[in-house]
Amino acid sequence: MDKPLRPELISKCIELMYFQASNAYSSSIAAGAILGVLFWNRVPHVAIIGWAVCYGIMIAIRHQLGVRFRAAPRRNEDAQRWLYYFGTVVCICGVIWGAYGVYLARYADTFQLAVVILALGALLSGAVTAYSVSMPVYLAFSTPTMLPIGVYLVLSPLSGNRFLGLMVFTWMVFMFFGARRFRRFALESLGYQFENVNLVRNLEELASQLKKLSSVDSLTNVANRRRFDEEFEAALDSAKREGAPLSLILCDIDFFKHYNDAYGHMQGDVCLRSIASQLDAAAQRLGALAARIGGEEFAVIMRQAGVDSGVQLAEELRGAIERLGIEHSKSQVSGYVTGSFGVCSMIPAPGTTGSELLQRADEALYEAKRAGRNRVCADLTQGMAGGLGNKMGPGAVYH
């Protein structure tokens, strides 16, 4: 009769039922107040007061249950348990109402009996919108609320009461099918909502993956030239605003074309991946960005770093490549693959461009190659405020 709900829908259904809780409280209190006033002088006061206390306790329990549900983490495996808790509390409320209705009907005249039936019928109508997103919960409330008064009236010796009992049953059946229609509509709407949410989430994940793919070098899995350009521009702007030093390190693998000729391009790709992994790991430890900007060319951007830090990192990177111990029989420097590094460190002035830093780093890299490769050379431009600065190099050779 009631198709099982998906766990993610159960949580949403419970949220909707608690959203309607304030309306349910209000309508129940209003109906109870009307019946209390109507029967105050007809039934023992203790019965009305006792009902009010019992129902007040159940309202407090439902409220506390709602507070705990909203505070609990949303886990699919817990959804059915929360639905069971809510259904149990709602069922007890229905039992209280059903027993109260039968009790009042025993003392009621024709007018008062009609009011009792109308009050219970109004609660049943409200349950359609409040609970029917889960038919078990709806039935847990509607059945104990209306069935007792219906049975009581049908078993009455008075034909008028029996007719009212049949009307009660007819109303229950009518509300049941109305609840099913409302449930179908509500769940379809929730289903569309989840589909849209999932679609948006999938699109966001796809966009994130595409962005990652567009910023990662497909061969070495480090940042590519596009990512380097974006990060370099952002780092330069930040250094200008803050008056902070910025270091740029350029790296070229020594005699890599000879390596490809000797060992083949596939082995050359393996070599590049190994080197890129070492550069990326060392750079990340210091919060720097390593990128592949050409065939065998790499660059590292290091924020908030002066020349000492830049040269220290470059030397660490050079040593890391050397320690890989990748054989290179055609190298004119070593029997293993090595790298040459050029470092430019400066506090950029407002008018400094990225091209200037790249050119200075490239000049330092050229000097490292001219001086024998497998070494670090630095352009020591420390300050450029107002376009002025001191330059030592290229030619400050390390190693």
Enzyme catalytic residues: 296
Residues written for the chain: 399
**Nearest CA to 17 among 98, 105, 134, 109?**
134
CA atoms lying within 13 Å on the CB side of residue 143: 10
Strands 376-379 and 289-292: unpaired
CA atoms within 13 Å, Cβ hemisphere of 28: 24
In sequence order, which residues have a C-beta less than 8 Å from that of residue 284 and are 6 or more positions away?
Answer: 290
Residue 147 token pair:
């069935």
- Please state, in angstroms and rounded to a whole number, the distance separating the CA atoms of residues 106 and 267: 95
Classify residue 213 by burial, with Cβ atoms within 10 Å: 0-12, 13-18, 19+. exposed
Q: Which residue's entry shows tokens 């609970």?
A: 131
Q: In DSSP terms, which residues pair with 247 in a beta bridge?
A: 302, 345
Kindly write down the DSSP assignment for every residue of 223-255, as one continuous string: B-HHHHHHHHHHHHHHHHHHT--EEEEEEEETT
- Please, are residues 370 and 352 in contact by the beta-carbon 8 Å criterion? no
8 Å CB contact between 238 and 244: yes
Encoded tokens for 146: 């209306």
Which among 354, 90, 114 has a CA at the least distance from the CA of 234? 354
Burial of 266 per CB tally in 10 Å (0-12, 13-18, 19+): exposed
Q: Which among 201, 226, 228, 206 has a CA at the least distance from the CA of 214?
A: 226
